[in-house]
A and B are shown apart, each in its own frame.
Chain A
Amino acid sequence: MATTVKKMLFILSKATIENVYAAFIMANGARMEGIESEIFFTFFGLEAIQKKKLEHLKVATVGNPAMHIPTMLGGLPGMEAFATKMMKKEMEKLDMPPVGEFLEILSDSGAKLWACKLAVEMFHLKEEDLIDDIDGILTIGDFYNRANTEDCHLLFI
């Protein structure tokens, strides 16, 4: 059945792998269904579009009850790297692309990728710190204007 959703706008504010992939998979899934999609990277979400950082995102092992390990253990050196390695292995099995390749797929699929102007300034980032595939740096006002179409949904991650 055809959906009435025409456009999905995602605001990605976090840089943990699970949140980044949630945004990417849903944004890509929208394109695959013929729905327009855009991602607005703000705050820590900007890590996912920084050339030097995007392949080094981690799973949160502290303060994450779903890890089912005591928080104290989650804080031990190497735990984060270990959990991340395990998760990436499982992702590869399901043919989930690494972050850089996923961004390429999104861009080629026609998804728009925007960086938040205020967060870019706050973290003292320069345009060359960000991937070449981003479509621009926007204020939140600019981003809301992009939502100004019928059957558009916004999702904060």
Chain B
Amino acid sequence: METTIAGYKINTTEDGYLTDFSQWTKEIGIELAKEQEIEMTDKHWEVVEFLQGKHKEDAALSIRGIKKSGVIDIKTFYALFPGGPLKKSTLIAGIPKPKSCI
């Protein structure tokens, strides 16, 4: 699907995930977060950058990976991205929805 967000044209999956990370900008991230009723803070960005780094390494994402990351603990992760933290944070980060079950 092609949509426009924050003045940028982007391609997304049906549930709103960017299909091409190179289209991602911070402004897009802010807008996607707003749609999820999330106001981005420095801590949010830190998590987003961590996830994007993992995506570049082609590493699988899991809640355990978040725990081990040293970037954020699980409680705070849930508090920052309420209602499905890994789903929402990856959406904002412009990377694919994690396929892991854990």
Interface residues in chain A, defined as those with a beta carbon under 8 Å from any beta carbon in chain B: 1, 25, 28-29, 31-34, 94-97, 101, 105, 108-110
Residues on the A chain within 8 Å of B73, using CB:
108
B63 and A25: CB pair below 8 A? no
B74 and A95: CB pair below 8 A? no
A-B contact count (CB 8 A): 46
Tell which of B15, B63, B65, B67 touches A32, judged by Cβ atoms closer than 8 Å: B63
Given A32-B86, A32-B87, A109-B74, the answer on whether A25 and B101 have CB atoms closer than 8 Å is yes
Interface residues in chain B, defined as those with a beta carbon under 8 Å from any beta carbon in chain A: 15, 60, 62-65, 67, 73-75, 78, 82-87, 100-102
B78 and A110: CB pair below 8 A? yes
Given A1-B15, A108-B75, A109-B78, the answer on whether A95 and B60 have CB atoms closer than 8 Å is yes
A34 and B83: CB pair below 8 A? yes
Tell which of B67, B83, B85 touches A105, judged by Cβ atoms closer than 8 Å: B67
Most buried by A among B60, B62, B63, B65: B63
Residues on the A chain within 8 Å of B65, using CB:
95
The smallest beta-carbon distance between A96 and chain B, in angstroms, is 6
B102 and A96: CB pair below 8 A? yes
A34 and B82: CB pair below 8 A? yes
Complexed CA–CA distance, A1 and B14 (Å): 9
B15 and A33: CB pair below 8 A? no
The smallest beta-carbon distance between A101 and chain B, in angstroms, is 8
